[in-house]
Amino acid sequence: MTDFRSDTVTRPTAAMKQAMLDAPLGDDVFGDDPTVNRLQEMAARLLGFEAALFAPSGTQTNLIALMTHCQRGDEAIVGQQWHTYRWEAGGMAVLGSIQPQPLEHQPDGTIALADIEAAIKPDDPHFAKTRLIVIENTHGGKVLPLSYMREVQALAQRQGLRTHIDGARLFNAAVALAGGGDPYAQARNLCQSYDSLSLCLSKGLGAPVGSLLLGSRDFIAQARRVRKMLGGGMRQAGMLAAAGIHALEHHVHLLADDHANAQLLTEGLTRATVQHSRFAGKAMVHPAQTNIVFFDLEAELADAFVQYLADHEIRVTSGYYKTKERAMKRIRWVTHLDVNQADVERALKIVNAF
């Protein structure tokens, strides 16, 4: 079975498991788990923040950030397809009483600066008070460039707003932008002057559980209280934190392999749409910048295609959408630590056999 559904399906390597077994433990709610403390200090140092907080999931670290930045009735500017708005069960509104202001994306995954500025509410009691701008990098596998990140931060600073990065796959963006250089330095550059960052350890970095929230010392002190309120305080969490330490030390550079495998998959799918009449005029492959590949197929053909993949032990995710002309299914392939080049080549043979 080759699982392309998500980079969340990765399992700990043998070395990571050993690090988890060897981790010294304490009680993190009391603040004395040495391994959790080491992870938090390490991440803050690597990414240029004063402090960090370990929590069970990226959904929770995003929500903690929103609830720390915003009070009841405040507003956060988000993207229509941002994870914080679309994929986190409305948590900011339901649990934080925060009003989301969603904006449409540009084709490159950014939100136009003019649209962000136009959405900022005047200081008037009729409106929710705009407090926060949220950015997601990467978004759908697309890398938001450093110049854009700086422009958004500068806009927020001019307007007196706070900024949060949903950086679940921040190191994917950093590796892509570094181009063989130092991804840690590139990641620091992407975060520079932002108020907070959520970094997922259990996606491409391959840890089994956990995300980090990073910010100033005062921000993290307040965030720790919100984490407790949301039930995110764990006790002997050092076993999980040890996996995060191992991931940050050993798996960041391996993301380049995931990107190369995604490119190999993209090229193979593109050839299949050209070479096979069954796909003629019915399929489209989107360029991959990192480790996520989207393959659009006419709905009538897509169901049979996805079933054929499943029958041959290839797992993907997919969802329908409609154009003016027809119904389509977008099939998502995600490469990760547990998918190697041979797995991609085998998957492409199955695509061609279909």
DSSP letter, residue 127: S
Q: Is the pTM of this model over 0.85?
A: yes
Q: Are 344 and 267 in contact (CB under 8 A)?
A: no
Q: How confident is the model over 300-315, as a mean pLDDT?
A: 96
- Taking residue 106's Cβ as centre, other Cβ atoms within 10 Å add up to 12
Among 249, 272, 304, give the residue marking a domain's end.
249
pLDDT, one tens digit per residue, over 113-168 is 999 999 999 999 999 999 999 999 999 999 999 999 999 999 999 999 999 999 99
Tell me what percent of the residues of the chain surpass a pLDDT of 90: 95
> What is the residue range of 296's domain?
253-352
Structurally, the chain folds into a number of domains equal to 2
* 306-333 as b/e: b if 16+ CB within 10 A: beebeebebebebeeeeeeeeebbbbbb
pLDDT band at residue 322 under the 50/70/90 scheme: confident
pLDDT, one tens digit per residue, over 95-119 is 999 999 999 999 999 999 999 999 9
Q: Distance between CA 265 and CA 263 in Å, rounded?
A: 5
At residue 325, the pLDDT reads: 79
For the chain, the farthest-separated pair of C-alpha atoms sits apart, in whole angstroms, at 63
Residues 174 and 306 in one domain: no
- Residue 277 CB contacts under 8 Å (≥ 6 apart), including other chains: none
pLDDT, one tens digit per residue, over 194-211 is 999 999 999 999 999 999
At residue 67, the pLDDT reads: 98
User: Residue 351 above 90 pLDDT?
Assistant: yes
At residue 326, the pLDDT reads: 84
Average pLDDT, the chain: 97
pLDDT band at residue 258 under the 50/70/90 scheme: very high
Residues 206 and 263 in one domain: no
Among 249, 277, 310, give the residue marking a domain's end.
249
For residue 342, give the CATH number of its domain. Answer: 3.90.1150.10
User: Residue 66 above 90 pLDDT?
Assistant: yes
Q: Are 37 and 31 in contact (CB under 8 A)?
A: yes
Residues 194 and 237 in one domain: yes
Tell me what percent of the residues of the chain surpass a pLDDT of 70: 100
Q: How confident is the model over 39-57, as a mean pLDDT?
A: 98
pLDDT, one tens digit per residue, over 216-244 is 999 999 999 999 999 999 999 999 999 99
Among 219, 249, 279, give the residue marking a domain's end.
249
**In this structure, is the dihedral angle defined by the CA atoms of residues 20, 26, 32 and 34, taken in order, positive or negative?**
negative
Q: Distance between CA 37 and CA 113 in Å, rounded?
A: 38
Q: How confident is the model over 273-298, as a mean pLDDT?
A: 94
Q: How confident is the model over 163-176, as a mean pLDDT?
A: 98
